[in-house]
Amino acid sequence: MAEAHQAVAFQFTVTPEGVDFRLSREALKHIYLSGINSWKKRLIRIKNGILRGVYPGSPTSWLFVVMTTLGSSYCNVDISMGLVCFIQRWLPEGCGPYRSPQTRTLLSMAIFSTGVWMTGILFFRQTLKLLLSYHGWLFEMHGQTSHFTRVWAMCVRLLSGQRPMLYSFQTSLPKLPVPSVSATIHRYLESVQHLLDDEEYYRMETLAKEFQEKTAPRLQKYLVLKSWWAANYLQPPTHPQVSDWWEEYVYLRGRTPLMVNSNYYVMDLVLVKNTDVQAARLGNIVHAMIMYRRKLDREEIKPVMALGIVPMCSYQMERMFNTTRIPGKDTDVLQHLTDSRHVAVYHKGRFFKLWLYEGSRLLKPRDLEMQFQRILDDPSPPQPGEERLAALTAGGRVEWAQVRQAFFGSGKNKAALDAIERAAFFVALDEESHRYDPEDEASLSLYGKALLHGSCYNRWFDKSFTLIAFKNGQLGLNTEHAWADAPIIGHLWEFVLGTDSFDLGYSETGHCLGKPNPVLAPPQRLQWDIPEQCQAVIESSYQVAKALADDVELYCFQFLPFGKGLIKKCRTSPDAFVQIALQLAYFRDRGKFCLTYEASMTRMFREGRTETVRSCTCESTAFVQAMVQGRHLKADLQDLFRKAAEKHQNACRLAMTGAGIDRHLFCLYVVSKFLGVSSPFLAEVLSEPWRLSTSQTAQFQIRMFDPNKYPNHLGAGGGFGPVANDGYGVSYMIAGENTIFFHVSSKFSSSETNAQRFGNHIRQALLDIADLFQVPKADS
């Protein structure tokens, strides 16, 4: 493909005869159709805003109330108890549409009916919020549901209405409660008692008691006061550009590289192959992603429901597309656009702008395949400084902010950067091939490393997500973490992979179905003018990123002996089983216990994100020590395991219901900084390292297909880098009934950690715990 110039709507040249204007019909057509599409979206948003605003009511229910009022009047029954006559007296007389008595009566009935309808909506909504504040069902044993909970579930179903839209329940979700200081400190001390010796614990207990008596009451008052008017007490009082303190102080204010430290990756289906054609796979996947975005814009996606009853908060999904993290010297900002009609593409050191629409019509998969193939076939070389430009997003945030301000604020550099930052998402066309081969265990780890950091300059780490396509058609995602948590991108990924496999499909030769439109304008090559001074900073950022990437050891493996199905025979939750196995594995690996982080969601509350489950408990350490000693009877070990599992499950329930430890202490710390109050207790708590950071990857949020019918249609989940330099990051996905995928990360620079060694300890720990319950295992 010959070099394509960035489109402009018009050009002009000043000549002695005057000004010569040259209009581009194609660009003007894009502007016109973009305007039409924008107005359509606005009308859809207005309609959805009205429907969402009156949910669980509907226009049909309003019409029913109006007809009931009119019918009662026809039967000479005044169900308004005189209110219709009262409204009629207040209407103006003698002019306009109110001249006729019949018109005045009908209008009064309509006003009365609307008032009754709105009152009913508010009543139902507040009642539903009250019902959703009940979390007793979480603490009941499986199969032992109380009569109260059954009645509660019936009421929730009754008030939830029919066909809710994505954001229909947002105003009915309860607020995240502010825990009491005494309860939080009690749970905190309980979580660290077994990790400290007597002297250290006494010192921490003294600090906690002093904080509780002197400093905490004042901080707690401010937090409670803010919770009265904020949707979530994590929300900041004065920062309109971020959604919560957690987002700002944990993510956006971080000055270290996003790559490895913050971004995480998601893998493709690993046991099935749809096509080997790179461009064809992208054609289907990108088309499916924009279909999802259309459903998202129209709020046609069903809200995620726990047990099919309790709605989860959906606000994080708003910034899935058209979002970029903009670097700043002190703090970054998330830039979100309401719409974007193109994607930015990287291939062999060149950047392209690929339009997703022809006019107002979304390009078909075969057309998108043709456009991606045009990029793959383009022989043009990178411009000076272009090849490693994206390394700026992989290096330090301060350096990137300074360079962005100095060299990308005007001219063609600004236009090209805008094309990337204003894209729906970023697409990376890799020249390497990666795929999981069950006969070659290292293949999964190499695949994960490619997704986590790539070459350090072939991902745009600031975009909400980068879609990565390898040469053999295998895909993956690299996702920025500030805008949302992993289950949100997992929801999109499930839809996309299911649509690709079961709805769109491929021809016998592996291409997208249909015929391409060869007259489509080719993708536009982005133009840069990068001076040598900027190129030097790019090279510096690349060296920083490469050192970070080379230091990461990633060990990914599929655990085959058993999965969720056989774990349930131990009469415990699969998550508790794996978490206790991780404690056993860590103790065997390091000879000691450590503070352990497990992410748990708080999306049953409005604008909730995550809470920490401190999964290294007194009960789990007791079980691990008994297992290592090897002197206990099997029955005693089983009893210790069940106690540890029940403790873990209870900690998860507390975290999910707003009674966790860490978010409350974090907010108290933020308030103390606002007030200029010093707290040695909070400073020490928030500086404690998480040497074992864990997360379970959610799956089957959308029932796109029957997993029993298609057992091999499984993703391998995803992973992230270690949180502590001398620690481990562990992500796992309990993939169906018969297998578990693990992603273990550590740093080569630490002499105390080894990801593969720890992975082997995890394998053995799972087998040893299963042997306690004589669970039969498949051949490994």
**pTM listed for this prediction:** 0.90
Residue 777 binned pLDDT confidence (cut-offs 50, 70, 90):
low
- Is the domain of 489 the same as that of 620? no
Is 241 part of a structural domain of the chain? no
- Is the domain of 620 the same as that of 666? no
Is 396 part of a structural domain of the chain? yes
Tens digit of each residue's pLDDT (9 = 90 or more) over 428-441 = 999 999 999 999 98
Q: What is the pLDDT of residue 236?
A: 53
Average pLDDT over residues 51-63: 83
**Buried/exposed 664-680: b ≥16 CB within 10 Å, e otherwise:** bbbbbbbbbeeeeeebe
Q: What is the pLDDT of residue 631?
A: 87
Q: What is the pLDDT of residue 511?
A: 96
- Is the domain of 204 the same as that of 304? no
- Is the domain of 375 the same as that of 521? yes
| pLDDT above 90 for 251 | yes
Q: Which residue has the tokens 């207990």?
A: 205
Is 165 part of a structural domain of the chain? no
| pLDDT above 50 for 587 | yes
Contact (Cβ atoms closer than 8 angstroms) between residue 346 and residue 426: yes
Q: Which of 604, 700, 652 is nearest to 315 (CA)?
A: 604
DSSP label of 329: S
DSSP-derived 3-state class of residue 670: helix
| CATH number of the domain to which 678 belongs | 1.10.275.20
Tens digit of each residue's pLDDT (9 = 90 or more) over 304-315 = 999 889 999 999
Residue 6 binned pLDDT confidence (cut-offs 50, 70, 90):
very low
Residue 502 binned pLDDT confidence (cut-offs 50, 70, 90):
very high
Q: Say which residues have a Cβ less than 8 Å from residue 415's Cβ, sequence separation at least 6.
A: 6, 527
Residue 256: Cβ within 10 Å count: 13
**Which of residues 19 and 559 earns the better pLDDT score?**
559
| CATH number of the domain to which 325 belongs | 3.30.559.70
Average pLDDT over residues 331-355: 96
Dig out the tokens for 515 from the structure. 């015929």
Is 6 part of a structural domain of the chain? no
Among the candidates 530, 551, 572, a domain finishes at: 551
Q: Say which residues have a Cβ less than 8 Å from residue 484's Cβ, sequence separation at least 6.
A: 316, 317, 319, 320, 464
Average pLDDT over residues 466-470: 98
Q: What is the pLDDT of residue 311?
A: 95
Q: What is the pLDDT of residue 22?
A: 54
Residue 94 binned pLDDT confidence (cut-offs 50, 70, 90):
low
| CATH number of the domain to which 750 belongs | 3.30.559.10
The three state secondary structure string of 239-300 is: CCCCCCHHHHHHHHCCCCCCCCCCCEEEECECCCCCCCCHHHHHHHHHHHHHHHHHHHHCCC
Residue 780 binned pLDDT confidence (cut-offs 50, 70, 90):
very low
Q: What percent of the chain has pLDDT over 90?
A: 73
- As for how many domains the chain has, the answer is 5
Average pLDDT over residues 72-85: 81
Q: Which residue has the tokens 């299963």?
A: 770
Average pLDDT over residues 115-119: 90
Q: Which of 771, 768, 769, 767 is nearest to 780 (CA)?
A: 767
Does residue 481 have an active-site annotation?
yes
Is 4 part of a structural domain of the chain? no
Contact (Cβ atoms closer than 8 angstroms) between residue 484 and residue 317: yes
**Which of residues 699 and 662 earns the better pLDDT score?**
662
Q: Which of 721, 761, 353 is nearest to 587 (CA)?
A: 761
Among the candidates 53, 71, 100, a domain finishes at: 53
The residue from 30, 453, 481, 761 that is catalytic is: 481
Average pLDDT over residues 497-511: 94
Average pLDDT over residues 282-307: 95
Average pLDDT over residues 442-462: 97
- Is the domain of 510 the same as that of 393? yes
Q: In which domain, by residue range, is 770 found? A: 560-657+689-779
- Is the domain of 533 the same as that of 680? no
Residue 162 binned pLDDT confidence (cut-offs 50, 70, 90):
confident
Long-range contacts at 504-510 (CB < 8 A, ≥ 24 apart): 504/284, 504/287, 504/288, 504/365, 505/284, 506/274, 506/275, 506/277, 506/280, 506/284, 509/277, 510/275, 510/276, 510/277, 510/280, 510/473
Q: Which residue has the tokens 């106690």?
A: 643
- Is the domain of 87 the same as that of 41? no
Q: What angle do CA 86, 91, 97 make, to 5 degrees?
A: 135
Residue 7 binned pLDDT confidence (cut-offs 50, 70, 90):
very low
Average pLDDT over residues 496-506: 94
Residue 4 binned pLDDT confidence (cut-offs 50, 70, 90):
very low
Is 337 part of a structural domain of the chain? yes
- Is the domain of 671 the same as that of 734? no
Is 533 part of a structural domain of the chain? yes
Q: What is the pLDDT of residue 240?
A: 38
Cis peptide before 303, with omega less than 30 degrees from 0? no
Is 3 part of a structural domain of the chain? no
- Is the domain of 192 the same as that of 261? no
Q: What is the pLDDT of residue 18?
A: 53
Residue type (1 letter), 361: R
Residue 99 binned pLDDT confidence (cut-offs 50, 70, 90):
low
Residue type (1 letter), 96: G
- Is the domain of 568 the same as that of 681? no
Q: Which of 369, 351, 346, 696 is nearest to 516 (CA)?
A: 369
Distance CA 721, CA 195 (A): 24
**Which of residues 749 and 632 earns the better pLDDT score?**
749
Kindly write down the DSSP assignment for every residue of 142-157, as one continuous string: TT---HHHHHHHHHHH
Among the candidates 522, 551, 580, a domain finishes at: 551
- Is the domain of 321 the same as that of 357? yes
- Is the domain of 752 the same as that of 769? yes
